[in-house]
Amino acid sequence: MELKELKELIEVIAKLRSPEGCPWDREQTHRSLKPHMLEEAYEAVDAIDSGDMVNLREELGDVLLQVLLHSQIADEEGAFNVEDVAKELKEKLIHRHPHVFGTAQVNSASDVLENWDKLKKEEKTYRKSAMDGISKSQSALMSAQKISKKAVKTGFEWRSEEELYECINSEFEEFKEAKNQGDRDAMEDEFGDILFATVNLARWNKIDAEQALLRANRKFMTRFRKMEELATKPLEEYSFEEFDALWRRAKKEVVTNY
């Protein structure tokens, strides 16, 4: 594999950043590109969910563009270049897959993940707490999942799912108590505890909480659009009872995978 197109793409990025290149591209910095990195990653995920391979190919290209732009900027600053990025990733993958590139033996995917975590810990000796390494930029829900998993690896876990349900119920009661007291700060604090406890319920049942909420969002929007189609007058004029009947009808008529 010659990777001719990839090499030419790297040259195109360098040209765009050159004095003879594009004013917009020349102005970009690592910081200014942050929202674009997030946006392109989410759009790639949308393409995966849609199953549209043509769209996925395009969106992966947009993600690659962000990687190459950041690498080009770093190269200009004398920090690193795209070759350094590829080299470090290659060495990391080889080191963390001793069952492929070495003599280690594994019997399952769970063994692979266990080895991965062990090797990662050996590499990052500067991390002292089990909570170190949690991204500050990812969604709060994704962070909660990672925090929960990291805590469990130390043995900090409920003894049963029933105890977890009791914990969730107690968080609801604490929220109600804070509300009855009119303490807005405590209400926010307790509501956060409700969400965190619920994330643990998802983890306990091997459910990705982020994906579950995204699915619920899509489901709600699809059903709401159906309500708008079925409505015989502006939705603002519907009573609660009419809304409830319309929602139930929309649920029946919309059957799809989310």
Which H, E and C letters describe the chain, residue by residue? Answer: CCCHHHHHHHHHHHHHHCCCCCHHHHHCCCCCCHHHHHHHHHHHHHHHHHCCHHHHHHHHHHHHHHHHHHHHHHHHCCCCCHHHHHHHHHHHHHHCCHHHHCCCCCCCHHHHHHHHHHHHHHHCCCCCCCCCCCCCCCCHHHHHHHHHHHHHHCCCCCCCHHHHHHHHHHHHHHHHHHHHCCCHHHHHHHHHHHHHHHHHHHHHCCCCHHHHHHHHHHHHHHHHHHHHHHCCCCHHHCCHHHHHHHHHHHHHHCCCCC
How far apart are the C-alpha atoms of 188 and 202, rounded to whole Å?
21
Query: What pLDDT score does 164 carry?
Result: 95
- How many residues are listed for the chain in this entry? 258
Q: Which residues contact 195 (CB under 8 A, 6 or more apart)?
A: 140, 141, 144
Query: What pLDDT score does 156 carry?
Result: 85
Neighbouring C-alpha atoms within 13 Å toward the C-beta of 71: 19
Asked if 148 and 199 count as a contact pair (C-beta separation under 8 A), the reply is yes
Query: What pLDDT score does 5 carry?
Result: 95
Is the domain spanning 140-207 CATH 1.10.287.1080? The answer is yes
How far apart are the C-alpha atoms of 98 and 115, rounded to whole Å?
9
Distances (CA, A) of 208 to 106, 109, 202, 256: 25, 17, 7, 20
Regions of the chain where pLDDT drops below 50: none
Q: What is the pLDDT of residues 197-232, one digit of tens each?
A: 999 999 999 999 988 998 999 999 999 999 999 999
Cα of 125 vs its chain's centroid, Å:
26
The domain spans of the chain are 4-80, 140-207, 212-253
CATH says 4-80 is which class? Answer: mainly alpha
Query: What pLDDT score does 256 carry?
Result: 61
How far apart are the C-alpha atoms of 15 and 9, rounded to whole Å?
10
Query: What pLDDT score does 258 carry?
Result: 54
Query: What pLDDT score does 195 carry?
Result: 96
Query: What pLDDT score does 71 carry?
Result: 98
Query: What pLDDT score does 203 carry?
Result: 94
pTM listed for this prediction: 0.66
